[in-house]
Amino acid sequence: MGDYLSSDHNEREITSFSNKLANKLLDDKQIKNVNNSFTSHNLTSEQLLRMLEKNAYKLGESNSDNIVDSIKRSKYITITLGMNDILPCLTFTSNTQELKYDAQLVERKLEILTQNYYEIIEMIKDINANAKIYVVSYYFPYPWISKDLKEDSLVVFNKLNDVLKNVSYNTSVNFVDISDVSHTVFLVNPTDIYLNQYGQNYTFEEMVKFFEID
């Protein structure tokens, strides 16, 4: 469950790492089925928390699985959340490759994200204590920024990943660090924050290591 990081991008013919991983687990007969019903490009931690509290259905479809039943049947759960929580605080100018942000607002958003993450993981564990949970980090989506501007810009994303890492450690769930994909070769283009297929493939390979599958 999560945001654009674990979502396919059909218009670009890009398959997400999560779908590649799911297919691998299916092929290896480690799982019997896959549920991507609670993955959306723009999903935030607040939205997922509300979905859990309301036992939501996919896009409001009452004839589909609700989120609680889906979690009950899950052996593995990957979570990609956080970027959409802080993106509204950032202003990226593509022609000058500058990233500006309100530091105080970012800090406040990260505090809220931290609390939401703790609640989300606690609720998932209450529903299914046996599910293996994997929290996935983020990459720096603006690698084209000049070196003299990059250091300050990296602060925000390092803090975001610190939140995810600390929450994972404190809740005893797996933390998957994919920050190494913060490179131009792994992103679609200078004006797009999405991973290209090379980036998704790299992330898939990192996930495979955690799942200990060949």
Print pLDDT tens along the chain (214 aa): 888 776 666 666 788 888 888 888 888 888 887 777 788 888 999 999 999 999 887 654 455 678 999 999 999 999 999 999 999 999 888 777 788 899 999 999 999 999 999 999 999 999 999 999 999 999 888 888 877 778 888 899 999 999 999 999 999 999 999 888 878 788 877 777 888 888 889 888 888 887 765 4
On the 0-12 / 13-18 / 19+ scale of CB atoms within 10 A, 27 is exposed
Main-chain dihedrals φ then ψ at residue 47, nearest 5 degrees: -65, -45
Tokens representing 64 are: 């589909």
Q: What is the pLDDT of residue 30?
A: 82
Domains and CATH numbers, the chain: 4-211 (3.40.50.1110)
The Cα 214–Cα 159 span in angstroms is 33
Short-list 136, 137, 142, CA closest to 188? 142
On the 0-12 / 13-18 / 19+ scale of CB atoms within 10 A, 177 is middle
Tokens representing 1 are: 């469950």
The Cα 188–Cα 150 span in angstroms is 19
Beta bridge partners of 25: none
Task: Quickly list DSSP for 157-179.
Answer: HHHHHHHHHHHHHHHT-EEE--G
The Cα 116–Cα 125 span in angstroms is 14
Q: What is the pLDDT of residue 164?
A: 98
Alpha-carbon Rg for the chain, nearest whole angstrom, is: 17
CA distances from 76 to 1, 69, 150, 200 (A): 11, 14, 35, 19
The Cα 80–Cα 117 span in angstroms is 11
Q: What is the pLDDT of residue 152?
A: 83
**C-alpha of 114 from chain center:** 14
3-state secondary structure 49-98: HHHHHHCCEHHHCCCCCEHHHHHHCCCEEEEECCHHHHHHHEEEECCCCE
Residue pair 14/197 in contact (Cβ under 8 Å)? The answer is yes
Q: What is the pLDDT of residue 214?
A: 47
Q: What is the pLDDT of residue 59?
A: 52
